Structure 1
Amino acid sequence: MSEQTLISRPALSDGPETENAIGARIRQSRKVKGLNQADLATRLGVSQPTVANWESGVHDPRQLMLAKIAEALDVQLGWLASGERSTAERDKHPTAAYIRRGLFHVPVIRLEDTVLMIDRNGADLHALATDYIPVTSGSNSLFGFFVNDEAMNLAFPGNTLAVVDYNHRVPVSGDVVLLQLPDGQPLLRRWRRDPSRLEPWSSDPAHETLYIDDLTGIIGTVTVSIRFH
């Protein structure tokens, strides 16, 4: 019969993490086992600083290594792996930047009203709103509108909402821009440079590219599109 120690998650008092963090459970289990960091490192075939980094939350061990740690410390893998990742490890995750972005309830307005946003102080978006859509974004200068333009149907199929950042008025080549034409009508197109032009994005080749001298009348740049089914 093995000398497996059942750990009931007692409170920790010798580290910055709580028992909900992986590093804290490794440290706790190691001490119960009577090992120092160098002893555990030797059993696992890693360096002592690696163990120290796990326990301090600099980074968390991967799943395969967690299994080896659980075996070396005679604890259950499920318990060792459960709970929160360390703050440093969470920040390294590919989704970390996305999760930290704010959630905004973006006003949805009519296409014809988008031209009012040429003057950013000239319209009350909430007064124009017909609905709202929650969007996670790094910007709060947003509005949305439904696209119904066959010249852009590859990028915006039917019943697609385009979300525009009206503070983003200096697009890079390839951005989809919303602009006001000289006749006052709004137009959604993909902007390309050298030469400066507004391209359709359509399954129908009959739609023409507009070549322009100056990129003026920009209302904003599309940052998100949401298709409804």
Structure 2
Amino acid sequence: MDPDLRPDAAIRLETARKKRGFRSAKAAVDYFGWSYPTYKQHEQGIRGIGRAAAKYAKAFRVSEGWLLTGEGDGPGPTVPIVSFTQAGKLSPPNGYVESDEFVTIPAGGLPHGDWIAIRVQGDSMDLFSPPGSLIFVNRSEREAVDGAFYVVTTDDGEATYKRYRKDPERLEPESTNRDHKAIYPRSPLTIIGRVRRTLYDFPG
């Protein structure tokens, strides 16, 4: 592999963009409304990023000092965002997820584990996780604890996010919509992982 001869700041800019979850420069500029030719030249090292460093640092959630000099707060740990359909396929014995195949999101402060993030659909858990929010799921935690929150595979093979209750064993919704009912599994639960965090950005 040929050595990367770009300026260090350009390399850090690309790293920050990828860690923020944007696979391509085009995806980032479309999201933030930047000029693609200008941004691309910054990542290629054709132009210095000095005047734009503050803007990029805020967008990619790193410090301006780190972008310019490598000192300060760089990009933190990230986890892959998967769909509920994909999550169901991650049950044992499959298990493995290659992070490079997914968009990722920063996840600082999470304890050690095997983490994925899932975008919530529907309102069955809206008291804790409104539609559109992200839940962070630790696949290292598969022991059912009464009252804890899990993503599990149901009898029909679909993944769902619910609160676990025992005696009798059931999966309960936590919703403002009373149409949602508890699920009583007919077979042993396949737990994908325990939900430990919800992230929700208010619209606008």
Q: TM > 0.5 between the two?
A: yes
Match of 1:200 in 2: 173
Quote the Cα distance in structure 2 between the aligned partners of 1:228 and 1:133. 14
Deviations 1:3-39 (A, max 9, x none): xxxxxxxxxxxxxxxxxxxxxxxxxxxxxxxxxxxxx
Q: Which structure 1 segments of 5+ residues have no match?
A: 1-102
Percent identity over the alignment?
24
Conservation of the 8 A alpha-carbon contact between 2:147 and 2:163: yes
Quote the Cα distance in structure 1 between the aligned partners of 2:108 and 2:87. 18
Conservation of the 8 A alpha-carbon contact between 1:125 and 1:143: no
The change in CA–CA distance for 1:212 and 1:121 in structure 2 (over 3 A counts) is closer
Match of 1:181 in 2: 154
Is residue 2:174 matched to residue 1:211? no
The change in CA–CA distance for 1:218 and 1:212 in structure 2 (over 3 A counts) is same
Quote the Cα distance in structure 2 between the aligned partners of 1:223 and 1:111. 16
Quote the Cα distance in structure 1 between the aligned partners of 2:159 and 2:79. 19
Matched to 1:115, the amino acid is G
Conservation of the 8 A alpha-carbon contact between 2:155 and 2:186: no
Match of 2:134 in 1: 161
Larger Rg: 1
Match of 1:221 in 2: 194
The alignment yields a C-alpha RMSD, in angstroms, of 1.9
Quote the Cα distance in structure 2 between the aligned partners of 1:210 and 1:165. 22
Match of 1:96 in 2: none
The change in CA–CA distance for 1:204 and 1:170 in structure 2 (over 3 A counts) is same
Conservation of the 8 A alpha-carbon contact between 2:154 and 2:185: no
Q: Which structure carries more relative contact order (alpha carbon 8 Å, separation 6+)?
A: 2
Aligned positions of 1:125-164 closer than 5 A: 125-164=98-137
Conservation of the 8 A alpha-carbon contact between 1:116 and 1:123: no
The change in CA–CA distance for 1:136 and 1:173 in structure 2 (over 3 A counts) is same
Q: Which structure 2 segments of 5+ residues have no match?
A: 1-75
Matched to 2:134, the amino acid is L
* Higher-helix-fraction structure: 1
The change in CA–CA distance for 1:120 and 1:133 in structure 2 (over 3 A counts) is farther
Task: Give the TM-score normalised by the residue count of structure 2.
Answer: 0.57
The change in CA–CA distance for 1:113 and 1:127 in structure 2 (over 3 A counts) is farther
Quote the Cα distance in structure 2 between the aligned partners of 1:193 and 1:136. 30
Quote the Cα distance in structure 2 between the aligned partners of 1:159 and 1:138. 24
For structure 1, which segment, 111-120 or 215-224, has the greater mean C-alpha deviation from structure 2 after superposition?
111-120
Conservation of the 8 A alpha-carbon contact between 1:192 and 1:198: yes
Conservation of the 8 A alpha-carbon contact between 1:107 and 1:133: no
**Secondary structure, counterpart of 1:210 in structure 2:** coil
Aligned positions of 1:1-229 closer than 5 A: 104-119=77-92, 122-212=95-185, 215-229=188-202
Quote the Cα distance in structure 2 between the aligned partners of 1:152 and 1:122. 25
